Amino acid sequence: MDGPEARLRDTLDSLASTTKPSPNAYVRARAEWQRRDRRRRLVMLVLAVLTVVVADVVGLWALHSCAAPDPPPRKDRIDVIVQP
């Protein structure tokens, strides 16, 4: 009486003997991997650029909002300022 491991091994051996490898499987798998790698790098580049742009915009907005407003123009004209 065969054990389950032997029956499983026989079944997998018979299945493996009936399959035919694709001649260009490696080329397709490599092309798919390269496409995914390029896409991953592009997404990371876009996220990095977006992060820098948002940080710059927030920083410039904060600097502008903290700046003192220009004083309104005076109606009196001062020609000379004398300091003691």
pLDDT in tens, the chain (84 residues): 578 999 999 999 999 888 888 889 999 999 999 999 999 999 999 999 999 999 999 999 998 888 777 777 777 766 666 776
Q: How far apart are CA 17 and CA 79, in angstroms?
A: 104
Write down the pLDDT at residue 78.
Answer: 65
Write down the pLDDT at residue 31.
Answer: 96
pTM: 0.54
Write down the pLDDT at residue 41.
Answer: 98
Q: Look up residue 24 and give its amino acid.
A: N
Nearest of 26, 45, 22 to residue 34 by alpha carbon: 26
For residue 24, which phi and psi values (nearest 5 degrees)?
Answer: -115, 30
Segments making up each domain of the chain, as ranges? 36-60
Write down the pLDDT at residue 46.
Answer: 98
Token pair for residue 83?
């300091």
Q: Which residues contact 10 (CB under 8 A, 6 or more apart)?
A: 2
